Amino acid sequence: MAVRPACPPYRGGTAGGSNASEFGWYGNMLHDRFYSAWIQPTTNVPSGAKISTLVKVRIEKDGRVSKFEIIKPSENPVVNESVAAVAKQVSHVDPPPTGLIKGDHYDVKINFELNTELGGSKR
């Protein structure tokens, strides 16, 4: 898939180089879980355009998704609405691993990039 997290998923975790490899799997799992729930629009989207929407997701200690906020919308409202709909599809994920979160939650940014070259299909 062409879509990747906007920043390393472990960015919200503790400082140190070992977190990248130690907790990278968790960020990848989150990205895959949210991305797989995204139904990419195929209408009103110009072919070949690079369209992306950046969201901030808050995961509680128990894995509950308590916040799903678009922090950098695309210029296409259809794409933004399709990304916002993901929040209704994914309300719970695997709890963050011990050592990843500080406090009582884990924040991560995920970039939803529309694949217009393949006509909006996932692959």
Cβ neighbours of residue 32 closer than 8 Å, sequence gap 6 or more: none
Q: Which CATH code fits 9-41+51-103?
A: 3.30.1150.10
Which pLDDT score is estimated for 99? 86
Q: Where are the domains of the chain?
A: 9-41+51-103
Over the chain (123 residues), what is each successive 10-residue block's mean pLDDT? 39 43 89 95 76 96 97 94 96 93 91 73 41
Which pLDDT score is estimated for 32? 95
For residue 56, with 0-12 CB atoms within 10 Å meaning exposed, 13-18 middle and 19 or more buried, which class applies?
middle
Structure tokens at 33: 């879980």
Which pLDDT score is estimated for 117? 65
Rounded distance, CA 7 to CA 12, Å?
10
Which pLDDT score is estimated for 22? 80
The model's pTM: 0.74
